[in-house]
Amino acid sequence: MTTSRVGWCFVTAVLLISGCAESVSVRTSPPGAAVYVDDEMIGVSPVGARWPRAALSDPPKYRVQLDGYRAVEGRFRTRVSGGRIVGAAFTFGILLAFRSPRYFVPVSIALERVDVPTLKEATGSGSVEERIQKLRKLYERGLLTDQEYQRYRDEIIRGM
C-alpha cells in the first residue's frame, strides 16, 4: 500500500469517527452549577459534552443544581440544521455520512434563587421521623439540593 493510500485511509477513518457524536453545551447564570445528564455528573457549568448520534432520536435528560438555587430538570431538544441540509445537497449526501442533519440545541438556564431554610426552619420540632419527612418534602419540591438534603438529614440524625 502506498503512503498516499495509507494517508487517505487514515483521513477517512478520522472523519468517520468524528461524525459519530454530537456535542451539547449547558450554560447557567450564575455559572458553577453541577450538571447531570441521565443522573451522571458531566461537569460544572459552563460545560460541554459529546453524545452518540443515536441520542438525537431520544435526547437524554439533564438536571442542574447549585446550592441556594432551585434545581432545574429537562430534556435536551434537537433541531434540524439548515446548514447541514444545504451542505449535504452540495456534497451529494456525503456530508450526512459524517454529520447528522439534527443537532442538540444549546441549553442556557437562568437559575432561580431560593431562600434556603435553616435546619430549624426546615424541620421545626417533632420526632426525628417527622423532621426527616418534612426535610424530604422540601427536597422533593426542589428547595434543597442533594448536598443540602444530605447535610440537614445527617444533622437531624446526629442530634438524636
- The whole-angstrom separation of Cα 36 and Cα 125 is 34
CB atoms within 10 A of CB 54: 11
CATH architecture group of domain 20-110: Sandwich (2.60)
- The whole-angstrom separation of Cα 156 and Cα 147 is 14
Q: What is the pLDDT of residues 123-151, one digit of tens each?
A: 677 788 888 888 888 888 777 778 888 88
Q: What is the pLDDT of residues 61-95, one digit of tens each?
A: 999 999 878 889 999 988 888 888 888 788 887 87
Q: What is the pLDDT of residues 9-35, one digit of tens each?
A: 554 544 444 456 788 899 999 999 999
Q: Could you state, in order of their start, the residue ranges of all structural domains in the chain?
A: 20-110, 119-158
